[in-house]
Amino acid sequence: QGIADANGTLTEGMNYGTTTFTADRTWTLPASPDVGDVVHAKAPISLGSQNLIILKGAALHRIDTAESVVIESDAGAVSLTYAAANTWILF
């Protein structure tokens, strides 16, 4: 799914920025994923000197023990798998 210059909720599969950011943006992981779900998040070609924050989707979720991941590079990307209860892993 394409996400514009806005905060958003990620879905299973590919998620990508469609335009340059004018402020830091937060994209939130799904709150009720199934084990094995994969989410890809790709920043836009230009972050406009902003950051893209990938945030956990539920209170107990963690992303490799962290609550968020920050993409600071233009066109940067992360892929995450929901590996077990409350556990997202980066790959």
Q: What is the pLDDT of residues 26-84, one digit of tens each?
A: 999 999 999 999 999 999 999 999 999 999 999 999 999 999 999 999 999 999 999 99
Q: What is the SS3 assignment for 90?
A: strand
Amino acid at position 54, single letter: I
pTM value is 0.96
Amino acid at position 78, single letter: V
* Dist. CA 61–CA 38, nearest whole Å: 15
Q: Which residues contact 59 (CB under 8 A, 6 or more apart)?
A: none
